[in-house]
Structure 1
Amino acid sequence: MELVRIITDADTGAGLYAVRFPGEDADELTRLFRLWTSDIQFLFDFFTEHKARLTRGYYNGVSVQEAVMATRHEADELHRKLLRIARGGLESRGEELESLFLALDDCQFRRLPLQESKLRGRVKKKWLRLYAIRFDVHCYVITGGAIKLTRSMDEAVHLQHELDKLAEVKRFLIRNDLGSQFDLVYLESNNGGQGNE
């Protein structure tokens, strides 16, 4: 497993990182936004498989074609906003990453180290999610993401996989004794962000 800098402060380590899992050619942030904005076949197949969730309940009556177009639009907006806020937070102007990410557990109201977190899209009937570990103040490690059409993550296999990835990255950070964003700078300077895996 490798931690990849997306937008970070070289001195403090604050900012946005993403995990690149073994066997993957891209970090999770890059992989997901390629998937959500460019891989129309993936989106069409996904929404066809989950068509029943689009035609009833909260999304009531959204067609597969509308879902594909909405996802591409939402992903583009989410990506631009995430990068803009990450840059702005490092320059001490405007919003910070803390304003975008929420605790994964809706019952947690305090921000904690190594907290499992989520970022939702901002478009109405949003279903895109990015998942991250809140490493420190204004410091998040993206572990993955998904299209979430269910109320609970336990209701879909692909969402359960995202929970597993969150837990795996959290264990990686603990096992490598990474306790603050300064430790990420140290890890990178010693072995390129690879850790002991």
Structure 2
Amino acid sequence: MDTKHLYEFFENQKENLSFFKVKTVKEAVNITLREVKQIQEKLVEIIQNEDKQLDELFQNLNDNEYRKTLLSKQKTKQRWLRLYAIKIEPNHYVITGGAIKLVHKMGQSEFTKKEKITIEKCRNYLIEQGVYDADSFYELIL
């Protein structure tokens, strides 16, 4: 992870850090680096442990959405760090991107707006290609 980029990012987002009770840009960068490491460690643990599932890491993108939908939009979150994905079926995901989310709603930030568009484009593409489960996804990519 490029720490110079993180410093620049948080310098431009200082006003949003107070919500998280973070006082300095340096503190925000350090928290972010720790969170990235934690997500990486969780992914490695899931890959290496047959008893672990990706479903333990991801949840619905919309916190109020509980219905099962075809190719549902998902997120994993660590404080302000987000990883976005499309759930093909249990334990099968297409990761579409990630962002630092310092605002309440995705539409309030240019960074999260971009990810919202990307995840929707990816979902639409998969549907257009006839993807509805893991088998149809693997047929598409192989």
Cα distance in 1 between the residues matched to 2:114 and 2:23: 25
Q: Matched residues, percent identical?
A: 32
For residue 113 of structure 1, report the CA deviation from its aligned partner: 2.7
Cα distance in 1 between the residues matched to 2:115 and 2:38: 22
Give the match's secondary structure for 2:87.
Answer: strand
Aligned twin of 2:60: 103
Assess if the C-alpha contact under 8 Å between 2:61 and 2:74 holds in 1. Answer: yes
Which runs of 5 or more residues in structure 1 are unaligned? 1-37, 190-197
- When normalised by structure 2's length, the TM-score is 0.93
Q: Is it true that 1:160 corresponds to 2:123 in the alignment?
A: no
> Once the two structures are superposed, what CA deviation does each residue of 1:58-89 show, in whole Å capped at 9, x if it has no partner?
x134310011111111101111102322443x
Aligned twin of 2:90: 137
Give the match's secondary structure for 2:131.
Answer: coil
Letter in 1 for 2:93: Y
Cα distance in 1 between the residues matched to 2:45 and 2:70: 24
Cα distance in 1 between the residues matched to 2:139 and 2:16: 45
Given the alignment, which residue of 165, 175, 188 partners 2:128?
175
Count of paired positions: 142
Q: Is it true that 1:48 corresponds to 2:1 in the alignment?
A: no
* Root mean square deviation, CA, Å: 1.4
Aligned twin of 2:70: 113
Assess if the C-alpha contact under 8 Å between 2:74 and 2:87 holds in 1. Answer: yes
Which structure ranks higher in relative contact order (CA pairs < 8 Å, sequence separation ≥ 6)?
1
Letter in 2 for 1:131: Y
CA pair 156-133 structure 1, distance change in 2 beyond 3 A: same
Assess if the C-alpha contact under 8 Å between 1:119 and 1:131 holds in 2. Answer: yes
Give the match's secondary structure for 1:159.
Answer: helix
Give the match's secondary structure for 1:145.
Answer: strand
For residue 111 of structure 1, report the CA deviation from its aligned partner: 4.0
Assess if the C-alpha contact under 8 Å between 2:22 and 2:28 holds in 1. Answer: no
Letter in 1 for 2:26: Q
Letter in 2 for 1:84: E
Q: Is it true that 1:76 corresponds to 2:33 in the alignment?
A: no
Which runs of 5 or more residues in structure 2 are unaligned? none
> Once the two structures are superposed, what CA deviation does each residue of 1:12-47 show, in whole Å capped at 9, x if it has no partner?
xxxxxxxxxxxxxxxxxxxxxxxxxx3011100100
Given the alignment, which residue of 117, 123, 148 partners 2:101?
148
